[in-house]
Amino acid sequence: MTIHQFEDIESWKAARVLAAKVYEMSNRGKFRADFGLRDQIQRAAVSIMANIAEGYGRGGKPEFIRFLRISRASALETQSHLYVALDLGYLSEADFETLHKQALAVTRLVGGFINYLLCDGTEEPKN
């Protein structure tokens, strides 16, 4: 796998889609008025892609992996916040399922990328 810029990373692309969907759905109805939860889920979703980019920019595999782990944790945090939004009636079951599926896909992509980097001793990502 050759990566020339962080925008080439599949997990970053998926996280970007998730962040846009989280913003769209959290700016509707009662969800929009719950400033605490809305801001927290938005920050968590943005943190996923931000940590992938920041880790890539660190220039070394150990640091990149560390930031990918933080990114994966933010994806799990996003998933957890989705349950709160569902339980409070801020999201329909269908909207919850859409967001949760995307968040789960991001979590798996980031985790797979971590495993790839841990198992591939040939080269570091190219900056």
Q: Is residue 34 part of a domain?
A: yes
Query: Residues 22-57: pLDDT tens digits?
Result: 999 999 999 999 999 999 999 999 999 999 999 999
DSSP state of 114: H
Q: Is residue 125 part of a domain?
A: no
Q: What are phi and psi of 59, to 5 degrees?
A: 85, 5
Q: Is residue 10 part of a domain?
A: no
> Residue 89 burial (CB < 10 Å; 0-12/13-18/19+)?
exposed
Both structure tokens of 52: 């992938």
Using a pLDDT cut of 70, give the percent of the chain over it. Answer: 94
Q: Is residue 3 part of a domain?
A: no
Q: Is residue 7 part of a domain?
A: no
Domains held by the chain: number: 1
Mean of per-residue pLDDT scores for the chain: 93
* Amino acid, single-letter form, for residue 99: L
Mean local confidence (pLDDT), 73-98: 98
Confidence band of 121 (pLDDT split at 50, 70, 90): low
Q: Is residue 124 part of a domain?
A: no
User: Residue 59: its pLDDT value, please?
Assistant: 80
Report the Cα–Cα distance between both ends of the chain, in Å, rounded: 13
* Other Cβ atoms within 10 Å of 33 Cβ, number: 9
For residue 100, what are the domain limits?
Answer: 15-119
Q: Is residue 27 part of a domain?
A: yes
* Other Cβ atoms within 10 Å of 88 Cβ, number: 12
Confidence band of 126 (pLDDT split at 50, 70, 90): very low
Q: Is residue 1 part of a domain?
A: no
Using a pLDDT cut of 90, give the percent of the chain over it. Answer: 89
**99: CATH:** 1.20.1440.60
User: Residue 21: its pLDDT value, please?
Assistant: 98
Confidence band of 1 (pLDDT split at 50, 70, 90): low
